[in-house]
Amino acid sequence: MPETAPLCYKDAPATPLSAMSNQAEANIPFSARVSIEQVEEGTELAPKFDEHGLIACVTTAAGSGEVLMLGYMNEEALKRTIATGEAHYFSRSRQVLWHKGATSGLVQKVVELRIDDDQDAVWLRVEIPGDASCHVGYRSCFYRSVPVGPGDFGRVLKFEESEKVFDPKQVYGDAPNPTKL
């Protein structure tokens, strides 16, 4: 099955990795975490992965600032993202490395990669060819809002994108939906 997954196709199938040499990946240094000052105030990359070996990643559109997706990276995905300048994630349900857009062409070009204070979260600002979008058919995965604030009213989700950018049936065919109940 081709990797046709746009932005938030979190469980896209494993794809052939790009032809990056192991040497390039090996050249991405991750420092040991030795002190709070080093982690927060220093210039060494010392990421913290959770008990599953993952780090959370927020991905926004470099132009609009819109939050497109929230994904996860393992050590290899983060190193490949840094080395190639193209977003790589780790699919939690499929347990595979995922080079976003390797087959579909909807590669996320990393304009900027930031890491947070305690280095347990990553923020990618990306550019994507075309108006790439969520596997449901929308531009961003976050296409619905929830009414907030005091008051005894319904909390019916509101669609913030009025039209789908593409027809997921045409793009994915019979591929299994990545959403899990």
CB of 91 to a second copy, least distance (A): 13
Let me know: does 79 contact 28? Beta carbons within 8 Å.
Answer: yes
Residues 98-117: x where in contact with a second copy by CB under 8 A, - otherwise, as a string: ------------x-xxxxxx
Candidate list 16, 19, 22, 156; residue touching a second copy; CB under 8 A:
156
CB of 142 to a second copy, least distance (A): 4
CB of 141 to a second copy, least distance (A): 4
Rounded Cα gap, residues 127 and 105, in angstroms: 12
Let me know: does 111 contact 68? Beta carbons within 8 Å.
Answer: no
CB of 130 to a second copy, least distance (A): 19
Beta-carbon-side half-sphere exposure of residue 61 (alpha carbons within 13 Å): 19
Contacts made by residues 109-113, CB under 8 angstroms, sequence distance 24+: 109/85, 110/81, 110/85, 110/86, 111/62, 112/62, 113/81, 113/82
Near a second copy in 15-74, by CB under 8 A: 24, 27-29, 33-36, 39-45, 48, 56, 58, 60, 64-67, 69-70
CB of 67 to a second copy, least distance (A): 5
Look up residue 96 and give its DSSP letter. Answer: E
Beta-carbon-side half-sphere exposure of residue 145 (alpha carbons within 13 Å): 8
What is the binding site for a second copy (CB under 8 A)? 8, 10, 24, 27-29, 33-36, 39-45, 48, 56, 58, 60, 64-67, 69-70, 81-85, 110, 112-118, 121, 123, 134-136, 138, 141-150, 152, 155-160, 177-181
